[in-house]
Amino acid sequence: MSRAKSSEIKIGLEVHCQLTNLMTKLFCSCSSDYRREDPNTYICPICMGVPGTLPVLNEKALEDATMVAIALNSDISERMLFFRKNYFYPDMPKNFQISQYDKAGGVPFSLGGYVQINKKKIRIRRIQIEEDPGKLIYEGTIESSAYTLVDYNRANIALIEIVTEPDIRSPKEARKFLEKLRSILEHLGVSDGSLEGSMRCDANVSLKGGRRVEIKNISSFKEVERALNFEITRQKKFMEGGLVIGQETRHWDEVRRITISLRSKEEEEDYRYFPEPDLVPIKISKEYLEDIKLRMPELPDDRTKRFMKQYNLLLQNAEILTRNKKIADFFEECLKLYKNPRELSNWLIGELLPYLHNKNKELEEIRVTPKHIVDLLKFIDDGTINRKMAKSILQEMLSTSKMPYVIIKEKALKKILDKKYVIKNVEKVIKDNPKAVEDSLVDEKAIHYLMGQLMILTKGKIDPKIADEILRKKLQLVKNRL
Ligand SMILES: [Zn+2]
């Protein structure tokens, strides 16, 4: 965090989310599953803007956008129409982007709304549906690259643009907003944030006394906090040196982790917006909205409340788990095999999440299953290992994805078994086998028999030497009482 006071910082975000659940692009029938494919193989005359072709709206994209608007408490316009945003740039073969516009007779898809973060509401200004441009690929950095490659596989992929009011007061709050937004979109099932480039962001940031600076090209949510921290520190230093921060657009250089000046901000009129004549306006009826509302899946806030009620979790812990859909799903998968939600949540929140955070990894990247976690917790519950051992086993399990019993075996942790567990089982064997106990006072063979019973009871998970020692000690106590 920079030294600027949060009250002096205003941040607004413009988030672009691909609707990754769609089979096809926004206006043509090309597959939208373009990742890992050769460049420029998932294209057709429509997404290439060949004259004479006509776009047709993907109906499912409209459904997705409707669900997003409802989930973000945004008012959906009754009439939906598209505008052309004209610009000349190699990422858009048509030289215009089909988007939406809030002036000249246009309306955004929806207006207003908010995302709740703890007790604060971050207001949404508008939500729009638009097509993604192609992807520009530079050799090294944008400044030094001798050429630019362009891949149109991404051109015409369905995007929703979510624009916030400048309500965000710190880079950390921006990250929290984006985490919440991602969780909402993932709960809706419209967008998978773990796919490369599926959620991108532009940010505008201004400090008191300075103009608004826009940061473009933040290619993942993870980078946003970093980019904003850099930019705020930069502006603060300039202002301390008596320099004026003018309105401009800057580019986030992910490699060097700095923002660089790209161009002075173009004005809206430069885009010469006009209504898209190839797509008819669509009326969004009340019946349509009601139908979608009925099909809305459970959202993070509702899931938080359910977790508190159903699993008896504290609000804070329930919120942490539902902040990431995959973590919340994982938690509930574990509970199919393990019946102590509080204990489980403590391990996930106290150990698993910090590990993912420190390694900057997603859950699916570490190949740890619910069974891994549950086996580990069961080993604690039955006394095979203590908590301290469990923590170290967990760390190894997370980095190697080996099952807990394998790690226990490899580390020969059985030798340092919790004695309490042995004692507990020795006592049970003595209680259940009075005849053999009596015999053991005179007959060594009966001790071997009791030892066998102990091994059966503990499934051989205990160290025989320690077990023998404890068994003999306990038998001695019995003998002394006689
Ligand atoms: Zn196409």
Residues in the chain: 482
Mean per-residue pLDDT, 75-84 = 94
The torsion angles phi and psi of 321, rounded to 5 degrees, stand at: -70, -35
Ligand 1 centroid to Cα of residue 30, in Å, is 4
Residue 2 has pLDDT above 80, yes or no: no
Ligand 1 centroid to Cα of residue 60, in Å, is 16
Mean per-residue pLDDT, 334-358 = 95
Q: Give residue 46's identity as a one-letter amino acid code.
A: I
Contact between residue 377 and residue 340 where contact means Cβ atoms under 8 Å apart: yes
Ligand 1 centroid to Cα of residue 340, in Å, is 50
Ligand 1 centroid to Cα of residue 53, in Å, is 10
Alpha-helical runs (H) found in 3-58 = none
* DSSP secondary structure code for residue 39 in this structure: T
Residue 141 has pLDDT above 80, yes or no: no
Ligand 1 centroid to Cα of residue 140, in Å, is 29
Ligand 1 centroid to Cα of residue 332, in Å, is 39
Q: Express each pLDDT in 15-69 by its tens digit.
A: 999 999 999 999 999 999 988 889 999 999 999 989 999 999 999 999 999 999 9
Ligand 1 centroid to Cα of residue 278, in Å, is 16
Ligand 1 centroid to Cα of residue 343, in Å, is 50
Q: Express each pLDDT in 175-194 by its tens digit.
A: 999 999 999 999 999 999 88
Ligand 1 centroid to Cα of residue 188, in Å, is 26
What pTM did the predictor assign? 0.83
In this structure, the number of other CB atoms found within 10 A of the CB of residue 289 comes to 15
